[in-house]
Structure 1
Amino acid sequence: MLYVILAAVLVGLDQLVKVLVRLNIPEGGSVPFLPHVLQLTFWKNTGAAFSILTEHTWILALVSAAASILLLVLLLKRVFPHPFAMVSLAVVLAGAVGNLIDRVFLGYVTDMFQTLFMSFPIFNVADICIVCGGIAFCVYFLLFQGKEEKA
């Protein structure tokens, strides 16, 4: 249950940042955040990462919903009982749900973080959760899964 609460808190943070961006930055507009590193830019994204499946929000919503259900089942059944794995899955779940909320209620995902030191797609808190949680789970799975029982 603690992991579901973690996911809910991260979804809340994601949605709060998105609402603040929509209320305070005009679409396509930018404000400085970290000089020479990051700015906040309000971007309506109807696709996925790198504009994959642009204008197919309903497909992405279905995929997000299915992934969210699967992740929730994995968490509730404790399929991977190690706390590191559970936190990783909870963080990925938060990202999936955060972007799902936008797709269902807005028809697009609100993106806001734009890197200034390199050319990279604009992203949001949910995207950060998906990437960081996914990498962390891969590290767990490749390096630690199955070894905790032997110890």
Structure 2
Amino acid sequence: MLYIIVAFLSVLADQIIKWWTVSHIELYETTFNNPVLSLTHIRNNGAAWSILEGKMWFFIIVTLIALTILPYILYKNKDQTKWLTIGLSLIIGGTIGNFIDRVRLGYVVDMFQVEFFNFPIFNFADVSLVIGVVCIFIYILFFEDKKKEEI
């Protein structure tokens, strides 16, 4: 149940932030500008760094496959360390958050812009995905071998 809550909260936060951005910031407008982070409302027709821009059918197919496989992997490993299970839950939540935009709007709403170095503008779903991947890397580096030794 914890994993469903984590994924749900990730999707909910992502969609609320995107709704607020679209409602309060004009397209391509930048607000809350400071040396660390600003909010810039953009539309992303691709994946990270706008790769494969305009290939929405590809993203929908890959997302549907991922949303079939990831919950299965989570279910099969539900008794593993929280690093793996929370990581998978965050990845599922981030995937669903961006999938909602792609299906509903035909693009993904991005808003967070890092100001102290050049980095693509991103959204909360992307943050969930990255944190989820980091959690899984921690699991692989520090916990996976211990499970194999126990077997």
TM tier relative to shorter chain: over 0.9
Give the counterpart letter for 1:9 in structure 2. Answer: L
Find the aligned partners of 2:105 and 2:121 in 1 and give their Cα distance.
18
Question: How many equivalent pairs are there?
Answer: 150
Q: Deviation string for 1:23-44 (max 9, x for gaps)?
A: 11111111015x2111111110
Q: Deviation string for 1:72-124 (max 9, x for gaps)?
A: 11122326622221011101111111101100111000000011111110000
- The answer for the alignment partner of 1:3 in structure 2 is 3
Find the aligned partners of 1:80 and 1:29 in 2 and give their Cα distance.
45
- The answer for the alignment partner of 1:22 in structure 2 is 22
Find the aligned partners of 1:7 and 1:122 in 2 and give their Cα distance.
22
TM-score by length of 2: 0.92
Percent of aligned positions that are identical: 39
Task: State the Cα distance separating 1:146 from its structure 2 match.
Answer: 3.7
Residue 40 of structure 1 pairs with residue 39 of structure 2: yes
TM-score by length of 1: 0.92
Residue 53 of structure 1 pairs with residue 52 of structure 2: yes
Which range moved further: 39-48 or 54-63?
Answer: 54-63
Runs of 4+ in 1 over 6 A off after TM superposition: none
Q: Deviation string for 1:117-142 (max 9, x for gaps)?
A: 11110000000111111021012112
Q: What CA RMSD, in Å, does the superposition of the two structures yield over aligned residues?
A: 1.7
8 Å Cα contact 2:87-2:132 kept in structure 1: yes
Q: How does 1:2-151 map to 2 (within 5 A)?
A: 2-32=2-32, 35-78=34-77, 81-148=80-147, 150=150
Find the aligned partners of 1:65 and 1:110 in 2 and give their Cα distance.
20
Find the aligned partners of 1:140 and 1:76 in 2 and give their Cα distance.
16
